[in-house]
Amino acid sequence: MDRRVFTKSLLLTSALSAAGCSSAISEAEKPTVYRSGFLSAIREWRIERNPTFEFVHEYKARTDNGFRLPEIPVEKINDRYLRQRVSYASNYAPGTVVVDVANRFLYLIEPGGKAVRYGVGVGRQGFAWQGAARIGLKREWPTWTPPAPMIQRQPELAKYSAANGGMEPGLNNPLGARALYLYRNGRDTLYRLHGTPQWKSIGTAVSSGCIRLINQDIIDLYRRVPVGAKVVVKQNEAAV
């Protein structure tokens, strides 16, 4: 047997064994698994057996407005925090965004008792925020200007103050690829739904009150919701 073929066969067998899979993979699928390597073989196995993850391929690398977003290693993220369509019985109108802080989910309500669910990172204890608001502004690759209270807590952020022009857009900007600005009674609450390059923070409580999503997820949410959409942030919501 050709040495390269033998090596590729061994890689595939090892990946499927680790994943607990005993079913055969078609010849059409094999080249993709071989080229992708061990972790991607596991990822493909997960996708095949979890058809609810209809959006998982959207976590691949992409170029957006001139910025190259890296691929998200979905095999390292808890399944529950990957974007997926779920059943969600509620009285909210379609188009409403519901943030379930306790369970680290954001739901975009759809007709027919369905919702698109995204995993999120939320505010640390002491910075939690709840209530109803509206999306007052939408920005692609926004500039980040930390509010005055944050600068008081972290003086090193003064260089990014509004007076200094803020932090320019980019892959390291804390607001990520998109930001949805929450307003209440026509006034900025200073809270945001935004992207983050720190995919490991999804499912945790780390931010200063804002709701963060994987960059690929905030891009998806951004295109689905208009300015004026209602956002409800709840601290105690039953998991769906």
Please identify every residue annotated as catalytic. 194, 210
- Give the sign of the dihedral formed by CA 80, CA 84, CA 85, CA 90: positive
Yes or no: say if 218 and 193 are a contact pair by the CB < 8 Å rule.
yes
Bridge-based pairing state of the strands 178-184 and 105-110 = unpaired
Integer CA distances (angstroms), 4 to 27, 85, 122, in order: 17, 40, 47
- Could you list the beta-strand ranges (E) of 65-162: 67-69, 84-87, 97-100, 105-110, 114-119, 122-123, 131-140
| CA–CA distance, 126 with 182 (Å, rounded to integer) | 19
- Give the sign of the dihedral formed by CA 70, CA 74, CA 75, CA 76: positive
* CA of residue 114 relative to chain centroid, distance: 19
Task: State both tokens at 35.
Answer: 């080229």
Q: Token pair 């857009």 is at which residue? A: 169
